[in-house]
Amino acid sequence: MPQALTLLIEAGYPLVLIETADEAFAVDHVVKSVDLLQRPLYDWSITEGMVSRRPAAGQVVVPPGSAAKALEYVAKSAAGTVFLFRELDSHLKDPVVDRRLCDLNAAPDHRRPAVVILETNEASERLRRLSIAYEIKPPDLDELTQIVKLTFTRIHQQSLREITSKLTGRELEQLVRNLSGLSRSEAARVVASAVLDDHLLDADDLPRVVDAKRAILGRRGVLETIAVDVRPDDVGGLENLKRWLARRRDSSSRAAREFGLESPRGILLLGVQGCGKSLSAKTVAADWRIPLLRFDPGLLYQRFVGESERALREALMQAEAMSPVVLWIDEIEKAFASSHSASADGGLSQRMFGTFLTWLQDHRRPIFTVATANDVSALPPELLRKGRFDEVFFIDLPKPAVREKILAVHLARRRRDPAKFNLANLAAATEGFSGAEIEQLIVSAMFDAFAAKRDIDDAALTAGAAKTRPLSTVMAERVADLRAWAADRCVPADE
């Protein structure tokens, strides 16, 4: 609301900082705010100089190029005048510019003009200390819906070809949710690209919008955006987990909110290595048609004091900006293993763990967190308390029927007809194998067959299985301990 910015200007704040990627909307917001006050407004950029907007719109009062000269003009201006400076942060290296801003802060209230600083990149700590922050809120779902409709209407009116829309109400709502986190101009461009690609707006554009959003926001933070190329049918077994996720597929919709539901918070997946924990995170994102972000805990710990905490805050802020999203934290025990014991990091792990737990429980954005863990003994007990995650699932070694499905999936993925293999016998031969080990068994057999200029068959796969010592054999004691721990503490992911 423009009124909020007018209050800061009327209250006498000399420096107001706006950080936003949506420059056009922010400029319009500032202009409307100053119009409400009926005050003079000048607009400065390094390329255009200081230009009057009201009164005498278009008059250049300071030539392009010098921020110091522009601030000198500000210092001589009458109280009540408002100045908009674009991208001023990079000029703070000039001591004259820095000093001019300090002088503005120190001037008596009755002599102060107001300076609104617009930064499209992250501002420096120096500029933040000198100014008061003003937030341009991102578009909400209602505004994004209007952006979709207005963009479609504009293209429809301007295009020489027929433009049609086949979106249902539910698909439109999903499209709008996928646009959440983008600026107004970015959302309009993404919608325009989807329409102009085939002169049609339909359900096929939903994954395109997700890909475009991932490409735009993936450049902005410390999280890694992951392309999702799996479907629920690509995951053998885990039927109990799949049903649980299917019941929550539309929980971020408007209908769910009106029903009184909040978005699900997430799940913690414990289990034997290679049994599908990471694949489950990808499956959720694919099935729910929302972006997948991977948060690597190993990248948190930086060399310099304060950098680790900042990296964590940036990761969580980026996840909120991109919501709705699946946030995948792989091997979460690596990030916070020392938080519940004496460690030599000066309490860094404990501070970061506390920050993460607070965010995990208190955030209200549609972020579905999927955390995976292999070493349950290293998990802080606070992480397992109800309220942090909606449920804790245990993914065990696949049973014979599930191994048959896994074999069929990986054979079909490599253009082999599963019906030509004795899947029951192969499932028996792979007793104790994880899903990842079954996949590698097929891959290895195909390399051998290719080198020998023949195709794979039951005999080759059975022989390969006989030569393999799965993790359940090599680390039998640890696997047994993990199963025993999870027996009464976790929900089985499979039936």
Examine residue 369 and state whether it is found in any structural domain, yes or no.
Answer: yes
Please say which residue of 342, 376, 395 terminates a domain: 395
Q: Are 289 and 174 in contact (CB under 8 A)?
A: yes
Please tell me what DSSP assigns to residue 385. S
Q: Check whether residue 192 and residue 277 sit in a common domain.
A: no
Look at the chain and report how many structural domains it folds into.
4
Residues 265 and 379 in one domain: yes
Task: Please report the beta strands in 228-386, taking only residues with DSSP state E, as ranges in sequence order.
Answer: 266-271, 292-295, 325-329, 367-373
CB under 8 Å to 163, separation ≥6 — which residues?
152, 155, 156, 195, 199, 200, 201
Q: Which contiguous run of DSSP H or E holds residue 98?
A: helix 95-106
Alpha-carbon gap, residue 199 to 436, rounded angstroms: 42
Please tell me the pTM assigned to this model: 0.67
- Shared domain for 387 and 252, answered yes or no, is yes
Q: Judge if 284 and 237 occupy the same domain.
A: yes
CATH number at residue 88: 3.40.50.300
Residues of the chain with pLDDT under 50: 303-305, 342, 344
In a domain, 340, yes or no: yes
- Residues in a beta bridge with 294: 224, 328
Q: Are residues 273 and 343 in the same domain?
A: yes
**Range(s) of the domain holding residue 455:** 400-474
Q: Do the beta carbons of residue 200 and residue 242 sit within 8 Å?
A: no
DSSP 148: H
Is residue 335 domain-shared with residue 424, that is, in the same domain? Answer: no
pLDDT, residue 438, reads: 93
Same-domain check for residues 239 and 210: no
Token pair belonging to 183: 């600026």
Q: Is residue 418 part of a domain?
A: yes
Q: Are 405 and 269 part of one and the same domain?
A: no
Helix axes 23-37, 2-10, angle to 10 degrees: 60
CATH of the domain at 453: 1.10.8.60
Is residue 345 assigned to a domain? yes
The two three-digit tokens of residue 314, written as one number: 């940036």
Name the domain boundary from 108, 134, 160: 134
The whole-angstrom separation of Cα 87 and Cα 100 is 16
Neighbouring C-beta atoms of residue 9, cutoff 10 Å: 23
Same domain assignment for residues 284 and 371: yes
Which burial class, exposed, middle or buried, applies to 135 when counting CB atoms under 10 A from its CB (0-12, 13-18, 19+)? exposed
Do 249 and 354 fall within a single domain? yes
Residues 463 and 421 in one domain: yes
Calpha distance 495→486 (Å, rounded): 15
How far is 86 from 88, CA to CA, in rounded Å? 6
Q: What is the distance between the alpha carbons of residues 45 and 334, in angstroms, rounded to a whole number?
A: 46
Residue 481 lies in a domain: no
Burial class (CB in 10 A: 0-12, 13-18, 19+), 200: middle
| Bridge partners, residue 270, by sequence | 373, 394
Residue 491 lies in a domain: no
486 falls within a domain: no
Max distance between CA atoms of the chain, in angstroms, equals: 91
User: Do 121 and 156 belong to one domain?
Assistant: no
Picking from 170, 189, 217, the residue at the C-terminal end of a domain is 217
Per residue in 84-123, pLDDT (tens digit) is: 999 999 999 999 999 999 998 888 766 679 999 999 887 8
b/e map 215-225, b = 16+ CB within 10 Å: ebbbebbbbeb
Would you say residue 483 lies in a domain? no
Distances (CA, A) of 431 to 165, 185, 244, 397, 482: 52, 55, 27, 9, 18
Query: What integer pLDDT is reported at residue 344 of this predicted model?
Result: 47
